[in-house]
Structure 1
Amino acid sequence: MRLMAVPAAAVLVALCAAPALAQPTTTPVPGPRDPNQPPVSSGPPLSAHAVGDAGTGLAVVRLAPDSSPTGTILPGFGEQLPRQSAAEIGVGLASAQANTEAYLSYERAVAQASPLGFAVQGRAPQTPGTLVQTASPDNAEPVTGGLTPPATPLDALLKVGLLNGSAHARWDDELGPCVSPLADAKTSVASLSVLNAIPTLPSTPDLTGLLTQDTPKLDAAAKQALIDDVKQLTAPLSQLGGLLSGTPDTGANGSLLSLPETLAAHSTVELVDLPGSPNKAVRSTSTLQAASIRLLAGTPAEIRVDVVSRPTLTALSTGDQATSGITYTAPVLRVGQGGRELGTLDAANPKLDVPIGVTAGQELPLVGALAEGLPKLDIGVLRLQVAQLNRKDMVLDGPLQQGGPTVNGYMLGATARLLDLQLLPTDALGLPNLPSALAQVSLGEQIVRAAAPNGGVVCAPAQAPPGGGGQAAPPKKGQPLAYTNAAYKTVPIFWTGTALLLVGVVLVAALPARRRPLTP
């Protein structure tokens, strides 16, 4: 009998595993456990089809931009993608999203206000302390509150004051997205100081032995003069020779860029009237509100940037390329230093360079107008840029979401920035492995996108499918579920094997033991 136990167990295991190896069947979409709860899946088709996104960031800091390769799971494909920053950190992110094609009902409208977000070489962990509201079901009131920035590895580069946020997402049970506002998010910060240090520059005041041998614009005498001039500065280059030294409690001093007054971001997605039609158009809007910006605040080289007009970026999609468009109110910034105007930044004059130099006998670097008439060696440049508008659009001829219905329409999107501040090294600073930009601060990043079908968004109750009922029907009794792997039969196989083992033990114990004859 013991000889038959092993073949019998093998046959039983094969019979139990046969269903798992058979042709898989399709598992029906389950219905909700509670009939009164909103459906988990998308349910019946909607009459309205619309997609909209609006995102606004108060400030985004990038260290060594375009210096890290983009990692992908495909070998060699990362070399074809744009390079990423070594580190990025965003402050005061307001995001509003609407998507009628979302499979999960609570993702049809999403509003989010985040105090902070960061990424290191493209890897971005989830940030706590975020205000989020989703729909459906509908939310009569927004969620509001203070946002507390969590501790991050980049705290030495950024100091944030009091943050407030608001998020409101709505959805109509009958008309879907035809409700106002559809998604709305706001953030505001009372004070902000960015780049209290430049980690990409050396933290030692002595550059002896650090300068490369092939510095194009310096001979041996000029290179030694640069080393001597940097030595006399009150702090190393990582603190811009003393311009970033010290960070008082006010957050105004000791930073490359600071905001002494409130900066607010507002993102919204809504449906608006379409002229000459009962249907609606999708409009996504990003708005920034700022008063003034300080560069190198509290130092003799302080630069004041006044925001004369606030930027507004809007994407409007009617479903028709002829009537859809991007509207951008470009900011106007007035730049001054010590009561003297350095220039005006607007759409016609989007760039202004302010040199940073060192000279003998000076304990602090010379910036902008302070260096006029003095012999100096430029080691860096502060580049200010505005009105960087990038637009993309496309004609829709397919589903807005994978597996969704085919939609013919038009989609367009755009990005813009209030102020882009870059710290660039010059050829005279011949340090090894320097990136093309030492640091970059983007103040007020704006992103919008809108998509609508031909003729606009239809605001009408959805037609019930034949047979009634807007939710997925529960599976019929006896209908087999799909076998995704052999784990479905693990428990039966385990208990069957255990039973066979016990039977074998009983049989072995019950049978009398044979005594071997003693050998003479």
Structure 2
Amino acid sequence: MRLMALPAAAVLVALCAAPASAQPTTTPVPGPRDPNQPPVSAGPAPNTHVIGDAGTGLAVVRLAPDSTPTSTILPGFGEVLPKQSAAEIGVGLASAQANTEAFLAYERAVAQASPLGFAVQGRAPQTPGTIVQTASPDNADPITGGLTPPQTPLDSLLKVGLLNGSVHARWNDELGPCVQPIADAKTSVASLSVLNAIPTLPSSPDLTGMLTQDTPKLDAAAKQSLIDGLKGLAGPLSRLGGLLSGTPETGAQGSLLSLPDTLSAHSTVELVDLPGSANKAVKSTSTLQAASVRLLAGTPMEVRIDVVGQPTLTALSTGDAGTSKITYTAPVLRVSQGGKELGVLDAANPKLDVPIGIPVLGDLTLPVVGALGERKLDIGVLRLQVAQLTEKSTALDGPLQQGGPTIKGFMLGATARLLDLQLLPTDALGLPNLPSALAQVSLGEQVVRAAAPNGGVVCAPTPTPPGGGGQAAPPKNVPQLAYTNAAYQTVPIFWTGTALLLVGVVVVAAMPIRRRVEDESPEPAEQ
């Protein structure tokens, strides 16, 4: 045993020291299980660099906007970020994205059409019913189909008719994003009614004891007049005094905003010719098509909004700040009530306020909206706004993803809205904890972004991965994982000790048993 103990100890020391002296390895880039399928990773650095996004939403409803603090894991940083809405819900979202710097191959081009998206206090779960198409590999045909809105906690706020969607994502194995288009998404809705109730207003018709004591511009007599006037209306404030209660004789449900005709959204990202160069420019486009909008449809106070023109928002990036630009074709909205024009909304006149008040005559059971009748006290304002174009731009000088090549270029983006409808309270409503805006409906939200390297996009063949297209080579300049000594040594030590223990058991079992004969003194003889 002593002769075997020394070699066994030497083997144990050598096996334990091997992991410490070996060169540490890093986690390899995962490859596809099927060698015939496209690579999971992006492979070698692409020669063509394109980033573009275009998103269009048919309608977005916000309850109590700018009322909820933004949550963040950074201490104190939530106070710096802008506040969010208490609840948000979007209808008919069309999104087109192109990103040659994406690590995953199927995220280079993405087209998506969603029937619905919602968020409660900034938390947005993933909604089902979406159709999406990704590339690479290339898709010869688009995907089309109907979109079924899922059940949400905010179903009482809107009613959505038939939704249709179409998505198409393209990619060329040799030229990458040099296809037409890279990503394209469309959505359309046949009918839509928004804000069938105002949850931020009380549902009781009697406001006795609910008005605050420090209500400005109202004395005790005016407060009592407000309470008595609201009691005489056909519904509570949450139904806007009966304006949102619908028509019982026809069974129709009332709504603040409705669309009698089809509203469609179109988002696309593509490459276009660059004048005086063989290279290309990145173009992201968001387009809306609508005919008319109704406010308080079916009531005597109905307001009609006719849309003249097709709003189009475009971001064009050539890679240079001097030639890149944002182009916006603003719509013209004609607002009328009972055949009388209330105003025109355009780029020169982007805002129009329509008051809502308690009628002077006691026999009227509905609030007076706009110019139809006299009001003795305004309880709310419908604020209509158009365009609201916001632009941002930045110069690029660095990698667009970790470990990627340094790219110098230019990126720009913009947002716009077809119609922004806000329901604002007046000083007469001295209710506690009342937000500055009771509800907000954004009809036709548009977002675009485009980025390109200096000189434009070069449409050159992408290097073929090693081995003919099986598994792509790992990305360059990727930092290695941290080498933890204990993790690499624990497993070898465990198995080495186990093996030596088994060897010892076998050796001990195979050795013959030796008995030591001890000298024994003879017992004294009996006398």
- Give the TM-score category using the shorter length: 0.7 to 0.9
SS across alignment from 2:388: coil
Cα deviation, 1:44-65, whole Å, max 9, x if unaligned, reads 2222111000000000000000
Give the letter for the 2:413 counterpart.
G
Give the letter for the 1:417 counterpart.
R
Give the letter for the 1:140 counterpart.
A
SS across alignment from 1:159: strand
Distance 1:467 1:151 in 2: 49
Instruction: Tell me, yes or no, if structure 1 residue 48 matches structure 2 residue 48.
Output: yes
Distance 2:228 2:250 in 1: 34
Cα deviation, 1:305-343, whole Å, max 9, x if unaligned, reads 000111000000011111110000001000000111000
Instruction: Tell me, yes or no, if structure 1 residue 291 matches structure 2 residue 291.
Output: yes
Contact 2:356 2:378 in 1 (8 A): yes
Q: How many percent of aligned residue pairs carry the same amino acid?
A: 85
Query: Corresponding residue for 1:398?
Result: 398
Instruction: Tell me, yes or no, if structure 1 residue 311 matches structure 2 residue 308.
Output: no
User: Aligned in 2, Cα 1:469/1:289: closer, same or farther, shift over 3 Å?
Assistant: closer
Give the letter for the 1:28 counterpart.
P
Contact 1:424 1:439 in 2 (8 A): yes
Query: Corresponding residue for 2:175?
Result: 175
User: Aligned in 2, Cα 1:51/1:223: closer, same or farther, shift over 3 Å?
Assistant: same
Give the letter for the 1:457 counterpart.
V
Aligned ranges 1:352-501 → 2 under 5 Å = 352-359=352-359, 360-371=362-373, 374-463=374-463, 471-472=471-472
**Aligned-residue offset at 1:486:** 7.0
Distance 1:59 1:265 in 2: 10
Give the letter for the 2:196 counterpart.
N
**Aligned-residue offset at 1:92:** 0.1
Contact 2:247 2:298 in 1 (8 A): no
Contact 2:281 2:457 in 1 (8 A): yes
Cα deviation, 1:364-392, whole Å, max 9, x if unaligned, reads 11100113xx2410010000000100000
**Higher Rg of the two aligned structures:** 2
Aligned ranges 1:31-70 → 2 under 5 Å = 31-70=31-70
> Which piece of structure 1 moves more, 36-45 or 176-185?
36-45
Query: Corresponding residue for 1:275?
Result: 275
SS across alignment from 1:26: coil
User: Aligned in 2, Cα 1:495/1:344: closer, same or farther, shift over 3 Å?
Assistant: same
**Aligned-residue offset at 1:362:** 2.4
SS across alignment from 1:419: strand
SS across alignment from 1:223: helix
Distance 1:204 1:314 in 2: 47
**Aligned-residue offset at 1:502:** 11
How many equivalent residue pairs? 497
Contact 1:17 1:486 in 2 (8 A): no
User: Aligned in 2, Cα 1:502/1:23: closer, same or farther, shift over 3 Å?
Assistant: closer
Distance 1:269 1:390 in 2: 20
SS across alignment from 1:241: helix
User: Aligned in 2, Cα 1:481/1:229: closer, same or farther, shift over 3 Å?
Assistant: closer
Distance 1:156 1:280 in 2: 47
SS across alignment from 1:276: coil
Give the letter for the 1:368 counterpart.
G
**Aligned-residue offset at 1:32:** 3.1
Cα deviation, 1:428-465, whole Å, max 9, x if unaligned, reads 11000000000000000000000000111001112458
Q: What is the TM-score normalised by the length of structure 1?
A: 0.87
Query: Corresponding residue for 1:185?
Result: 185
User: Aligned in 2, Cα 1:219/1:422: closer, same or farther, shift over 3 Å?
Assistant: same
Q: Which runs of 5+ in 1 are unaligned?
A: 1-11, 475-479, 508-520
Give the letter for the 1:112 counterpart.
Q
Query: Corresponding residue for 1:347?
Result: 347
Distance 1:19 1:482 in 2: 15
Distance 1:114 1:249 in 2: 35
Contact 2:168 2:183 in 1 (8 A): yes
Distance 1:293 1:451 in 2: 35
SS across alignment from 1:391: strand
User: Aligned in 2, Cα 1:206/1:405: closer, same or farther, shift over 3 Å?
Assistant: same
Distance 1:472 1:167 in 2: 28
Contact 1:133 1:169 in 2 (8 A): yes
**Aligned-residue offset at 1:292:** 0.5
SS across alignment from 1:446: strand
Distance 1:233 1:46 in 2: 67
Distance 1:228 1:496 in 2: 89
Cα deviation, 1:154-211, whole Å, max 9, x if unaligned, reads 0000100000000100000000000001100000000000000000000000000000
SS across alignment from 2:355: strand
Distance 1:71 1:21 in 2: 47
> Which piece of structure 1 moves more, 324-333 or 37-46?
37-46
User: Aligned in 2, Cα 1:335/1:33: closer, same or farther, shift over 3 Å?
Assistant: same
Q: Which runs of 5+ in 2 are unaligned?
A: 1-11, 475-479, 509-527
Contact 1:47 1:460 in 2 (8 A): yes
Cα deviation, 1:83-113, whole Å, max 9, x if unaligned, reads 0000000000000000011111100000000
Contact 1:20 1:483 in 2 (8 A): no
Distance 2:383 2:64 in 1: 15
Query: Corresponding residue for 1:104?
Result: 104
